[in-house]
Amino acid sequence: MRKCLLLLLLVTITLYGHTENGYDLWLRYPRIPAGPYNNQVQQLTASFYLPVTSPTLQAARDEVQIGSRGLTGKMAKPASKPHAHVPLLIAVYSPEMEKLTGIPPADTTGLGEEGYLIYSNSAGTRLRITARTDKGVLYGTFHFLRLLQTRQSLENLRIHSQPRLRLRLLNHWDNLDRTVERGYAGFSIWNWHTLPSLIDQRYIDYARACASVGINGSVLTNVNANATILTPAYLLKVKALADVFRPFGIKVYLTARFSAPIESGGLKTADPLHEEVRQWWKNKAKEIYALIPDFGGFLVKANSEGQPGPQDYQRTHADGANMLGEALAPHGGIVIWRAFVYAAENPVDRHMQAYNDFVPLDGKFLPNVMVQVKNGAIDFMPREPFHPLFGAMPKTPLMMEFQLTQEYLGQSTHLVYLAPLFKETLESDTWAKGKGSIVAKVIDGSLHSHSLNGMAAVANTGNDINWCGHPFAQANWYALGRLAWDHSLTSEQIADEWLRMTFSNEKKFINPVKKIMLESRDILVDYMNPLGLHHIMGTGHHYGPAPWVNDQRRPEWNPVYYHRADSNGLGFNRTATGSKALAQYSPEVRALWEDPADCDEKYLLWFHHIPWQQQLSSGRNLWDELVYRYYTGTARVKTIQETWNTVRPWVDRERHEQVRQLLNIQYEEAVWWRNACLLYFSGFSGRPIPGNFEQPDKTLDYYKSLRFPYAPGN
């Protein structure tokens, strides 16, 4: 019986190829087919010298062994002594090493704490990885393994790489009960209950994956914070994770609930100017650093969506942030204070509230405080213009906040590659210091000379076997790390690398699938939020379309607040005749978007209320263009499905099938978005969906009646 099963398994594997479940992410290290490249890699990894003097170097050595075993079938053998003929040498740079191994004089200046050099001889038979620090060596090792996995030439290499951003973080919105706010890939990967005694292999693999793309910090807990994480028992659990992550160059950070001194400290107030409160935080910081000497710091959401904060005591965000900054400073920690604030009592356009609150505070934050700004002013929409705070707070280091978990982009059932979205923001010109003052330069500190700088993204990981739910959602985690390391990489380069490592090096696979990835975000925008529409999704869970919702307690929780459809037209007038939000941008930016006649159409309804009959650049009027976009977006999902079917020969059965089924869901949901939105807006435009388009088979009432009481992540 056993034998039969084994045989069946073997047959299945031979018939369908190696079965995969996605757990290995882009660190699969599949066998390089026999041939010259395989021979070269075998020779290069036959023996390697990597002196292990720290857990970080141990991690590098382990990875070389895991990688070589997978790629060549033979595990690289560590050499006991360094010598000039060792094919692969991986070590922190030292003059002695240079002498012993014949490393040509290397310029390690400018490499900083995390950079590395990779170089090889012209035959590619000797390769050296060196850095100023152990961390640099580890990053270099991952880069080397990436070269092998993506089949790059190993000859005559001269790679000099160092991160453009200092802090490259994931923000986990993970709760202590293991639910994940806006998580669509299962429960939290942190099992708080069994920590600190049980170290799940997942923690280690998470750290490997992060380090392989240069992510160097992990905020473990939800910004809607729970003060329990700061209690002694939980800090021991945090310490256990910090110990796992440290060798991989990853620091842990926690979210600090502003009212923790009351909730967990028994104080009567959390007023940041109250001496007892300040002391409480200082003691807490001391307690944390005694356990975790390299603790990164606190991420704080305050006075936003019901979270406590300094304004509860008539203090400013700066008062609150500086109190924490003062507590962390003696230990080298930092405060990341979020700018995502808006208040129900405030009738001002939500788009403007963060700017109004924060710009007056520029220059008032302590040097170890950063302000973390979402890419756009509303909330991780499928497409948003860049946040007006970028460029507007020259004296404050601003950290980027992107979102990997696709809260508003199909959650984990839609294939959407986010690098183009990230790049669109990063390359937007703020004009803060004239032309070329792009957002990337604001956040890398080069525009306003800040040495504290960084990029964070809300993580999309969970305990699903493949980590992210959708196999292609892994690409977004990957892209975030790569862009935080080097924001000048193109979306295409990143997709190419990721596809090669995650699926296959076969051109017939890569080219069409890369195309899908690169187009996917625009396609989603068309079937969900074309022409600058935004925030018209289902209330609460944010799943599916619900532009009709108008009964929420807070005005800006209602989709009708954002689209403003009426019999005259559609869109939110944010110009001088409307909410005036445009005035928060530099005059040059304003000029780009102010006039509806030449405003970039991707932001048209974001900034303007446009009459239904107005003619757009296509020659179609607004209503017809809207119809056209919704239908085209949906039709293009069909094209993605067709392409995916053609690449079946190059993908393992398991993941091919999973993506195929997910694409079916994506198509159905695109149709749902299209039909629901067009039927609803048609009630305002007074025009039907033209007869040449396939007509919705359900009524608007049907779409309105749908309920999703258990939609995930809510």
Mind giving me the DSSP string for 79-124? Answer: PSS--TT-SEEEEE--HHHHHHHTPPP---TT-TTT-EEEEE-TTS
Name the residue nearer to ligand GCW (CB basis): 326 or 407. 407
Q: At its nearest, how many Å lie between ligand GCW and the CB of residue 645?
A: 35
**512-551: which residues touch ligand GCW (CB under 6 A)?**
none
**565-624: which residues touch ligand GCW (CB under 6 A)?**
none
**One-letter amino acid of 177:** D
Site string for ligand GCW, 403-442 (x = CB under 6 A): ----x-----------------------------------
Query: φ and ψ at 429, to 5 degrees?
Result: -90, 120
Q: At its nearest, how many Å lie between ligand GCW and the CB of residue 174?
A: 11
Instruction: For helices 419-426 and 507-528, give the axis angle rounded to 10 degrees.
Output: 70
Per-residue tokens: 205: 């693999």
**Distance of alpha carbon 673 from alpha carbon 680, whole angstroms:** 11
Q: What is the 3-state secondary structure (H, E, C) of 50-76?
A: CCCCCHHHHHHHHHHHHHHHHHHCCCC
Name the residue nearer to ligand GCW (CB basis): 182 or 563. 182
Name the residue nearer to ligand GCW (CB basis): 526 or 556. 556
**Distance of alpha carbon 543 from alpha carbon 161, whole angstroms:** 41
**One-letter amino acid of 639:** T
**Distance of alpha carbon 327 from alpha carbon 335, whole angstroms:** 10
Total residues in contact with ligand GCW, by rule CB under 6 A: 11
Mind giving me the DSSP string for 198-261? Answer: ---HHHHHHHHHHHHTT--EEE-S-SS--GGGGSHHHHHHHHHHHHHHGGGT-EEEEE--TTHH
Tell me if residue 353 falls in helix, strand or coil: helix
Name the residue nearer to ligand GCW (CB basis): 382 or 471. 382
Q: What angle do CA 548, 552, 558 make, to 5 degrees?
A: 45
Q: At its nearest, how many Å lie between ligand GCW and the CB of residue 95?
A: 50
Q: At its nearest, how many Å lie between ligand GCW and the CB of residue 542?
A: 6
Q: At its nearest, how many Å lie between ligand GCW and the CB of residue 528?
A: 16
The answer for residues whose C-beta is within 8 angstroms of residue 332's C-beta and 6 or more apart is none
Active-site hit among 174, 271, 407, 669:
407
Cβ–Cβ under 8 Å, residues 193 and 234: no
**388-407: which residues touch ligand GCW (CB under 6 A)?**
407
**Distance of alpha carbon 267 from alpha carbon 263, whole angstroms:** 8
Name the residue nearer to ligand GCW (CB basis): 29 or 380. 380
**In this structure, how many other beta carbons lie within 10 angstroms of the beta carbon of residue 595?**
12
Active-site hit among 114, 349, 379, 401:
379
Cβ–Cβ under 8 Å, residues 187 and 470: no
H helix intervals, 273-349: 275-291, 317-328
Name the residue nearer to ligand GCW (CB basis): 181 or 492. 181
Cα distances (Å, whole numbers) of residue 464 to 210, 218, 323, 461, 598: 17, 19, 39, 8, 46
**One-letter amino acid of 554:** R
Total length of the chain: 714
**One-letter amino acid of 469:** G
Q: At its nearest, how many Å lie between ligand GCW and the CB of residue 148?
A: 39
Per-residue tokens: 579: 């909410």
Active-site hit among 243, 294, 305, 312:
305
Q: Which of 224, 346, 621, 632 binds ligand GCW (CB under 6 A)?
A: 224
Name the residue nearer to ligand GCW (CB basis): 223 or 647. 223
588 given a catalytic annotation: no
Site string for ligand GCW, 300-339 (x = CB under 6 A): -x---x----------------------------------
Output helix, strand, coil percentages for the chain, rounded to the nearest 5: 45, 10, 45
Q: At its nearest, how many Å lie between ligand GCW and the CB of residue 406?
A: 11
- Cite the beta strand spans of 222-368 per DSSP E: 251-255, 297-300, 334-338
379 given a catalytic annotation: yes
| Interface with ligand GCW, residue 380, by CB under 6 A | yes
Q: At its nearest, how many Å lie between ligand GCW and the CB of residue 173?
A: 5
407 given a catalytic annotation: yes
Closest CA to 146 of 176, 118, 107, 184: 118
**Distance of alpha carbon 173 from alpha carbon 92, whole angstroms:** 36
Task: State CA 3 to chain mean position distance.
Answer: 46
Q: Which of 182, 315, 423, 541 binds ligand GCW (CB under 6 A)?
A: 182
Name the residue nearer to ligand GCW (CB basis): 173 or 593. 173
Q: Closest residue to ligand GCW, Cβ-based? A: 379
Q: Which of 89, 223, 494, 610 binds ligand GCW (CB under 6 A)?
A: 223
Q: At its nearest, how many Å lie between ligand GCW and the CB of residue 130?
A: 41
Say which DSSP state 429 is in. Answer: B
Q: Which of 116, 281, 340, 485 binds ligand GCW (CB under 6 A)?
A: 340
Q: At its nearest, how many Å lie between ligand GCW and the CB of residue 358?
A: 15
* Residues that are catalytic: 305, 379, 407
Which residues of the chain form contacts with ligand GCW (CB under 6 A)?
A: 173, 181-182, 223-224, 301, 305, 340, 379-380, 407
